[in-house]
Amino acid sequence: MTKVCVVTGASSGIGEETVRQFCLQGFRVFMGARRLDRIRKLAEETGATGLPLDVSDTSSVRSFVRELPDTVHVLVNNAGGAQGLEPVTEMAEEDWLSMYQSNVLGTARMIREVFPRLSRSQEGSHVVNVGSIAAIETYLGGAGYTGAKHALRALTDTLRLEWMGLPIRVTEVDPGLVETEFSIVRFSGDTRRAAKVYEGMEPLVAKDVADAIVWSVTRPPHVNIDQLVIRPRDQARADKVHRRGENRRIQDEGSGKVL
């Protein structure tokens, strides 16, 4: 029987590449995102099924899940992101609320709604939450995002406890600097500012993270990869990045991001 994989946030970056990799593995993939033009194009390329999905909207999540098969084997919660890089005393409340909605509540909504389908799998099933090194570290200006990703980490750990004894595996994948659209979104479309995040170093690419997700899912059924932390060789901490042409590790604006 062909296994079913569901991927959120599939319109770009890690989500897009994860769709490709699971299709190559022979999974039947259902993907969701807000940017329908992009997932339609990806559907044409890969054969995956693309559906509209906004994880911050409960009705959208429920509409998406109604279109899924009765049994789901893998759920990859990738939707999320960061906004801004201001200190706590200058926080933009709407940005913080948006980050919590997408990174935490959106993930919880997906898990709640897909759980009955995960439970029907005779072979066992697997939930992968795409986190960030922001789930285990903090950095200047990152309180809103690190707070959301720390909450996602708590959610993932709690699932492991709540699902003990069930044939459902739970994994969190926490990347460091990955060159995707992440920083462009974080800096509200400022491509020059976003480019500086990766300047002078070799970041991860989306396929690096997608490969790790697929690897965790394709371990033997009794093996649970609780957490994978993946950084570029040039990054030792969120704000410690080696830049070419420099003889020291530096902290610079935006180097804390991750994913």
Q: What is the CATH number of the domain that holds 68?
A: 3.40.50.720
Q: In this structure, is residue 255 part of a structural domain?
A: no
Q: In this structure, is residue 256 part of a structural domain?
A: no
Give residue 188's pLDDT. Answer: 67
Q: In this structure, is residue 224 part of a structural domain?
A: yes
40 vs 31: CA distance, rounded Å = 10
Give the number of domains in the chain.
Answer: 1
Q: In this structure, is residue 156 part of a structural domain?
A: yes
In tens digits, the chain (259 residues) has pLDDT values of 899 999 999 999 999 999 999 999 999 999 999 999 999 999 999 999 999 999 999 999 999 999 999 999 999 999 998 898 999 999 999 999 999 999 999 999 999 999 999 999 989 999 999 999 999 999 999 999 999 999 999 999 999 999 999 999 999 999 999 987 666 667 667 677 767 778 899 999 999 999 999 999 999 999 999 999 999 999 999 889 999 875 544 444 444 433 3
Q: Count other Cβ atoms within 10 Å, centred on residue 170.
A: 24
Q: In this structure, is residue 258 part of a structural domain?
A: no
Q: In this structure, is residue 34 part of a structural domain?
A: yes
Q: In this structure, is residue 99 part of a structural domain?
A: yes
Q: In this structure, is residue 161 part of a structural domain?
A: yes
57 dihedral zone (left: phi>0; alpha: psi -120 to 50; beta): beta
pTM for the predicted model, two decimal places: 0.90
Known catalytic membership, residue 145: yes
Give residue 160's pLDDT. Answer: 97
Contacts of 186 (CB under 8 A, 6+ apart): 81, 82, 83, 84, 85, 194, 254, 257
Selecting among 100, 139, 145, 198, the annotated active-site residue is 145
- What is the domain extent for residue 20? 4-250
